[in-house]
């Protein structure tokens, strides 16, 4: 592993403590980070290095799975802390002075609100931290709609080249997601069946049993559509539906994904309300309603659940419905892709299904029908399971941070991908803003509103719940 310096803006935040520092430590524990690399933590909070390390000890160490006291001491020995006001360019000079001498690989990670991205990039540029040594990492959400996304991309491009920008989506670091293209490309059985002739419908679901927790202020401005569907779920859809490129390099993969995102059939006003269901959880036994959560506006219309039907306008997939859904305070927590294959009898109970589980388990399952023992006419469904869970499986952020250090952008969003996704989602947001669609409700810790079930069942499909 080459030497590097890692600058983290927002180092005292929840994401930094839960994901970024534990991932950096784990990479060091695994022998994948150089001892010579500096980690420079920054935030607005004014305290010294010792105070920051104490905070790291109490808030970050608890999220580490392979803690070793000696390794932890070695790891934290290379962590430094600076209090920085993003609006003060003179403070960025101090940051520049903290870097290793002759550093040739500098990663600057923005674990901060996107509203600060542009100012931070400008000040970094003013102190010379935008040359070819530097890569910047942008956390989501990148904008709140197409206009704001384009504005951020355009302004940042004045300071950094596209090859220097890594827009992170942690779902693209999941082992099971990274396995999708391999599964499709190197198994002839799936190559032959991966099209509208053999596939009845495709479902992508991401459910959480948690509510908004301490993210009320952020979530009430964002909602489920922006928080999960516009980025994670549409990225998964593009990997499922894209044409397998001849080469698996970053440029080829990004082009293939972009082609799919641009082929999403626009949701027109006359069909939008029939194809998009939005809902909000309400009180159920000991579980609060969304409106009772901390920092939620009274009478908020923000959705905590979305289910929709998407279609692609290309020869391979035309006519195949893609059902997408995500929600908070659901009955179970899971994320999976379900591909339902057609059968001549067209009955739901004997359809072959390929299930790619993304969380909490990493596995690939195939539902197939076999003859019941001692019967010549009856059959039963059995599941073939391929378990991808392994003690050595990297967490998403660890894998993606290592990709950044090694300058591998294949699992990161190109600006055109994000803009294409926002363009498709914008019609939904505008419809909601104009109050032209109904907000439904569902009990906390349930499977969602009945309208979501009606959406998929009218096409002869069904949600797969585990």
Q: Is 362 annotated as a binding residue?
A: no
Take residue 110 and report the two structure tokens written for it.
Answer: 């923005």
In the block, tokens 């959480």 appear at 208
Inter-axis angle of helices 234-241 and 415-433, nearest 10:
130
**Catalytic residue status for 361:** no
170 assigned to a ligand binding site: yes
What gap in Å lies between CA 205 and CA 315, rounded to an integer? 25
Q: What is the Cα Rg of the chain in Å?
A: 23
Q: Is 44 annotated as a binding residue?
A: yes
| Catalytically annotated residue among 63, 77, 221, 232 | 232
Contacts of the segment 157-164: beta carbons below 8 A, 24+ positions apart: 157/415, 159/121, 159/122, 159/124, 159/125, 159/130, 160/121, 160/130, 160/134, 160/136, 162/414, 162/415, 163/409, 164/130, 164/132, 164/134, 164/135, 164/136
User: Any known ligand binding at 227?
Assistant: yes
Residue from 324, 348, 299, 339 nearest 421 by CA:
324
Is 328 labelled as part of a ligand binding site?
yes
Instruction: For residue 229, give the 3-state DSSP assignment.
Output: helix
CB 185 within 8 A of CB 361: no
Please indicate if the annotation marks 115 as binding a ligand.
Answer: no
Contact 76, 56 (CB under 8 A): yes
Peptide bond into 360 cis (omega under 30): yes
- Residue 430 assigned as binding residue: no
Per the annotation, where are the binding residues?
44, 140, 170, 174, 208, 227, 328
- Residue numbers in the known binding site for substrate are 170, 174, 208, 227, 328
Could you give the residue numbers annotated as active site? 232
């Amino acid at each position: 592993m080459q030497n590097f310096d890692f600058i983290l803006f927002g180092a005292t935040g929840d994401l930094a403590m839960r994901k970024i520092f534990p991932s950096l430590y784990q990479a060091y524990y695994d022998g994948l980070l150089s001892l010579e690399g500096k980690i420079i933590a920054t935030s607005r909070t004014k305290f010294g290095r010792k105070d920051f390390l104490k905070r790291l000890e109490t808030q970050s160490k608890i999220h580490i799975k392979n803690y070793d006291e000696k390794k932890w001491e070695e790891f934290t020995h290379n962590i430094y802390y600076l209090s920085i006001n993003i609006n003060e360019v003179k403070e960025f000079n101090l940051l520049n002075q903290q870097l290793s001498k002759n550093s040739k690989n500098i990663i600057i990670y923005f674990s901060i609100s996107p509203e600060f991205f542009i100012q931070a990039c400008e000040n970094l540029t003013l102190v010379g931290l935008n040359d070819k040594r530097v890569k910047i990492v942008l956390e989501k959400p990148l904008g709140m709609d197409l206009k704001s996304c384009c504005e951020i991309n355009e302004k940042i491009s004045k300071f950094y080249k596209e090859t220097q920008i890594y827009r992170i989506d942690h779902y693209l670091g999941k082992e099971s997601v990274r396995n999708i293209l391999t599964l499709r490309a190197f198994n002839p059985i799936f190559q032959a069946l991966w099209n509208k002739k053999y596939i009845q419908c495709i479902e992508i679901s991401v459910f959480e049993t948690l509510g908004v927790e301490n993210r009320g202020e952020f979530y009430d401005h964002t909602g489920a559509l922006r928080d999960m569907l516009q980025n994670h779920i549409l990225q998964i859809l593009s990997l499922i539906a894209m044409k397998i490129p001849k080469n698996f390099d970053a440029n080829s993969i990004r082009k293939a994904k972009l082609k799919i995102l641009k082929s999403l059939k626009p949701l027109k006003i006359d069909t939008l309300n029939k194809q998009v269901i939005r809902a909000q959880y309400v009180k159920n036994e000991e579980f609060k309603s969304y409106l009772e959560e901390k920092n939620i506006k009274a009478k908020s219309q923000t959705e905590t659940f979305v289910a929709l039907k998407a279609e692609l306008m290309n020869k391979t997939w035309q006519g195949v419905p893609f059902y997408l859904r995500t929600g908070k305070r659901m009955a179970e927590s899971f994320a999976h892709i379900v591909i339902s294959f057609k059968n001549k009898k067209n009955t739901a109970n004997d359809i072959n299904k390929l299930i790619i589980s993304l969380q909490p388990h990493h596995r690939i399952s195939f539902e197939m029908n076999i003859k019941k023992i001692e019967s010549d006419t009856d059959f039963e469904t059995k599941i073939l399971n391929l378990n991808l869970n392994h003690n050595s499986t990297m967490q998403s952020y660890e894998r993606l941070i290592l990709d950044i250090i090694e300058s591998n952008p294949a699992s990161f969003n190109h600006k055109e991908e994000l803009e294409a996704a926002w363009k498709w989602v914008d019609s939904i947001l505008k419809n909601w803003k104009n109050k032209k669609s109904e907000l439904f409700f569902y009990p906390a810790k349930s499977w969602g509103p009945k309208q979501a079930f009606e959406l998929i069942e009218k096409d002869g499909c069904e949600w797969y719940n585990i």
